[in-house]
Amino acid sequence: MAATRPPPSEEKNPIQLLIDWLNQRLERTIFMGLKFTLPRKFVSPLGFLGFLTFTTFALLGISGALLMLYYSPTVIFNTATGAVTSPFDSVQNINNVVPFGSALRNIHYHASNAMVLLAVAHMFYQYFSGRYKLRYEVLWVTGIVIGILTIIEAYTGYDLLLNVRGMLAINIGRALARSTPFMGPEAFRLMAGTGLADLILRFYAVHVFIFPMIMILIMMVHFPRYMVLDIPVVSMVAGAIMVIGGLFPVELGAKFIPTAEAGITMPEWYLTGMYAIIRTGIDRFIAGAVIPMIFVIVFLVVPFIDTSRKLFVRDRPFYTAMGVAGLGQLALTTVWGFRANNIFFPLDSIPQLEIDPFIFFGSVIFIGAAAYAIVYLWLKATAPPPGSRPMHARKQFPVYKLSQNEWRAVVISLLGFQVLFDIYSFQAFLASFKNVVLLQIGVGLIAFGILVHLYRIGAE
Amino acid sequence: MTQGIQGFAPQKRIFSHRGQHFSSACLSCSDFANCCGSKSTAELGTEFDGASPTKKKGLSRRNALKIMGGVSAALALAPFAATGSFLIPTISTKFNPVLIAKKEDVPVNGSTVFWFPFTTDPTYTNMLIHLPPDLAAKTGQEFVAYNRTCIHLQCLVSYLSNSEIIGCPCHGSEYRPTDGWPVAGPAAQIGRYLPSVKLRIDGDNIYAESVNLDLIGYGSDTPPS
């Protein structure tokens, strides 16, 4: 039998032929300008956090486009009856009535959180590994711009619900725009239009089209030529978003009605840092615009100040310590946004909202200085003696090789697991256990990721 | 000729171009186009080696054209600056008076909420306050009206009859009902009057006449007239 088989090089099935044909034609397109690497073994996801951020962006695009089919940005106040027609009604409809609507909303919400988190992690990883200077400047600056756009995009998104929490964010945003020292009324009108209906419509246009388009344009510059498309990790991140969505479904909140009593609501976690600064009661424009801008500008100019050729974390004690200090300040302000005027107590009454600016800024400066000093001194103390060339050898992880039978058993049980979960999730869908459906889709995606990983290590 | 004394210096050659003479050193000059060369070959051999160009005064034709192109592009794009106004909607500043209440509808030390001048945003809600006698004697007016948008972070304030004060539910700012001056909370740190609505009292009817829209949610530097 073996003798009659043609040599493997001549053996090409129609699918391979089609892929070859397509590959040759795609060389004429812009698509081939990007080099995708499909890693043949496990590589650390820290190296392609940017691509994972883009994955969540794509997930947001798909889920967002579908949500648009049912979302309505209409705001009408009936002054006679006090009734409010609000986008909240349409979101409530998506959440409670539209089949699979709550799952899509959950995916959209949790993917937005994941995108902000991954973008911040990506930025700090690139920072600590020195990939912001020495020809990385354009990638770094465009990355920071996309990061800011991402946060504004998320902000406009959660305001579109027009629940009490969204209204708080809208009010703070409007108050900040109006408090601009020059062109204040114009900045306010630019954002708010002539009323809340205008504002929601503007936020909607910005959220679903204008900003995503600008982000895609900047991404064209920001994308490096060589990219890692790690299918197992990508599908596991998507799966994790859905599992979290199933376990912790996002709440609708309370509908905003002008006559209702406003309680204490907090902005999303990526804005609580800014919220904490505003709560100190210093001038709003300084709190909400100048201080965040200083933070951004420091990051923007780093590659133009640090032009040394050293890249390794331990070789750059000053910049490493500065990065840790910035991270510490970011964490402190973010946590404080959720807490009372004393960070050690939860926020549960209105008088606790006001934070003493001396204590607040004192502790922010203290934590920055302490983090800087500790990291800097530690790096200096443990630095190798001058003249010796430090070896930054990679750690070798022990690899367990599966035997043929073990491999077969794992793959078959994973496939069986997926089949079972598909049936189970369909059943849950029929029984309208919405969160269970989402959870199971996520688990299925994670199983797929593990399977692809097994395929590639088995194919070696 | 003094060159090539020890036989190491390269031979300097002289060549002509468009009636001018240049040293071979000119070939490595970065600004060759602006070099005016020399009228005679003798100069090149002695003091002037032609390698130090003397710039023509004024612009070269090429640079003049570049600047012209830039100016033209700027002029072509300039009219688009006006499209910025597309982003900022015009909003009427002249309003028809609106009957908001009758005198007997609002009891002493009571208040009523009304929408003015639009009904598109809760920041266009205002409160009409029937001042208690002692406060009314102070201001000389029985009825006052303020916009309800707090100048701190745009929550909606209300008149609290028990304490005879205007209070914000969000962050605890308090305003005087007589002139809308912030007396407590974060608004007091900002220090601007709550925008007042101009009223016209015609017999038993109270009309709202005007309010400064640019001051809503921001506050007024001047007390109500």
Determine the Cα–Cα distance for residues A105 and A108; give it in Å rounded to an integer: 5
- With bands split at pLDDT 50, 70 and 90, how would you rate the model's confidence at A2? very low
Proportion of chain A above pLDDT 70, given as a percent: 92
Amino acid A116: pLDDT: 93
A198–B115 C-beta distance less than 8 A: no
Please give the average per-residue pLDDT across A68-94, as a whole number: 88
* B78 and B110 part of one domain: no
> For the domain that residue B119 is a member of, what is the CATH number?
2.102.10.10
Q: Name, in order, each residue with C-beta under 8 angstroms of B94's C-beta and a sequence gap of 6 or more.
A: none
Amino acid B2: pLDDT: 46
Side chain identity at A359, as an amino acid letter? I
Amino acid A432: pLDDT: 76
A197–B121 C-beta distance less than 8 A: yes
- With bands split at pLDDT 50, 70 and 90, how would you rate the model's confidence at A450? confident
Residue found by looking up tokens 């995916």 in the block: A107
Which residue of A175, A190, A193 is in closest CB contact with B154? A175
Higher pLDDT, A346 or B199: B199
pLDDT at A215 over 60: yes
The verdict on residue B225 lying in a domain is no
* B132 and B210 part of one domain: yes
- If you count them, how many residues does chain A have? 460
Residue where a domain stops, chosen among B90, B119, B151: B90
The verdict on residue B125 lying in a domain is yes
Amino acid A3: pLDDT: 46
Determine the Cα–Cα distance for residues A34 and A226; give it in Å rounded to an integer: 6
Within an 8 Å CB–CB cutoff, is residue B91 touching chain A?
A: yes
Instruction: Give this prediction's pTM.
Output: 0.80
Q: To probe the interface with B, which of A171, A186, A189 has the most B CB atoms within 10 Å?
A: A171
pLDDT at A188 over 80: yes
Determine the Cα–Cα distance for residues A246 and A238; give it in Å rounded to an integer: 13
pLDDT at A61 over 50: yes
- With bands split at pLDDT 50, 70 and 90, how would you rate the model's confidence at A193? confident
* B83 and B183 part of one domain: no
The verdict on residue B36 lying in a domain is yes
B154–A172 C-beta distance less than 8 A: yes
Q: How far apart are the first and last CA of chain B?
A: 95
B154–A194 C-beta distance less than 8 A: no
* B38 and B9 part of one domain: yes
pLDDT at A109 over 90: yes
CA separation, residue A11 to residues A1, A459, B75 (Å)? 15, 18, 64
d(CA A298, nearest CA chain B) in Å: 28
The verdict on residue B22 lying in a domain is yes
Within an 8 Å CB–CB cutoff, is residue B155 touching chain A?
A: yes
The string of pLDDT tens digits covering residues A347-393 is 777 777 778 888 888 888 888 889 888 888 888 788 777 666 656 66
The string of pLDDT tens digits covering residues B179-220 is 889 988 888 888 889 998 888 888 888 888 888 888 888 888
The verdict on residue B23 lying in a domain is yes
- With bands split at pLDDT 50, 70 and 90, how would you rate the model's confidence at A417? confident
Cβ-Cβ contacts under 8 Å, B88 against chain A: 186, 189-190
Proportion of chain A above pLDDT 90, given as a percent: 20
Cross-strand pairs, A13: none
* B29 and B10 part of one domain: yes
B88–A198 C-beta distance less than 8 A: no
The string of pLDDT tens digits covering residues A426-447 is 888 887 777 888 888 888 888 8
Cβ under 8 Å to B: A residues 247-266:
258, 261-262
Tell me the two tokens of residue A347: 């926020």
Cβ-Cβ contacts under 8 Å, B156 against chain A: 258, 262
The verdict on residue B223 lying in a domain is no
pLDDT at B1 over 50: no
Within an 8 Å CB–CB cutoff, is residue A198 touching chain B?
A: yes
Within an 8 Å CB–CB cutoff, is residue A75 touching chain B?
A: yes
Please give the average per-residue pLDDT across B97-114, as a whole number: 84
The enclosing H or E element of B175 equals strand B174-175
Q: To probe the interface with B, which of A194, A257, A259, A283 has the most B CB atoms within 10 Å?
A: A194
- With bands split at pLDDT 50, 70 and 90, how would you rate the model's confidence at B224? confident
* B139 and B52 part of one domain: no
Determine the Cα–Cα distance for residues A158 and A111; give it in Å rounded to an integer: 13
Cβ-Cβ contacts under 8 Å, A192 against chain B: 121
The verdict on residue B222 lying in a domain is no
Please give the average per-residue pLDDT across A404-414, as a whole number: 82
Amino acid B52: pLDDT: 53
Amino acid B115: pLDDT: 86
Please give the average per-residue pLDDT across A135-140, as a whole number: 86
Cross-strand pairs, A176: none
* B78 and B103 part of one domain: no
Amino acid B7: pLDDT: 47
- Neighbour count for residue A325 (Cβ, 10 Å): 21
Please give the average per-residue pLDDT across B10-35, as a whole number: 65
* B103 and B86 part of one domain: no
What's the number of CA atoms in the CB half-sphere (13 Å) around residue A182?
0
Residue where a domain stops, chosen among B90, B108, B134: B90
B170–A178 C-beta distance less than 8 A: no
Within an 8 Å CB–CB cutoff, is residue B156 touching chain A?
A: yes
Residue where a domain stops, chosen among B68, B90, B112: B90
The verdict on residue B221 lying in a domain is no
Q: For chain A, give the longest Cα–Cα distance.
A: 90
Which residue of A79, A175, A193 is in closest CB contact with B153? A175
- What is residue A257's three-state secondary structure? coil
* B166 and B77 part of one domain: no
Burial (0-12, 13-18, 19+ Cβ within 10 Å), A321 = buried
Determine the Cα–Cα distance for residues A135 and A137; give it in Å rounded to an integer: 5
Number of domains in chain B: 2
- With bands split at pLDDT 50, 70 and 90, how would you rate the model's confidence at A205? very high
* B133 and B169 part of one domain: yes
- Minimal CA–CA distance to A340: which of A259, A242, A272? A272
B125–A174 C-beta distance less than 8 A: no
Rounded to an integer, what is the distance from CA A447 to the centroid of its chain?
Answer: 23
* B3 and B107 part of one domain: no
Determine the Cα–Cα distance for residues A422 and A205; give it in Å rounded to an integer: 37
B214–A175 C-beta distance less than 8 A: no
DSSP A263: -
**CA-based angle A324:A329:A333, to the nearest 5?**
150
Which residue of A196, A281, A351 is in closest CB contact with B120? A196
Amino acid A1: pLDDT: 39
Higher pLDDT, B15 or A434: A434
Which residue of A171, A189, A261 is in closest CB contact with B153? A171
Within an 8 Å CB–CB cutoff, is residue B170 touching chain A?
A: yes
* B156 and B180 part of one domain: yes
Domain that holds residue B17: 1-90
The string of pLDDT tens digits covering residues A275-293 is 888 888 788 888 888 888 9
* Share of chain A residues as helix, strand and coil, in percent rounded to the nearest 5: 65, 5, 30
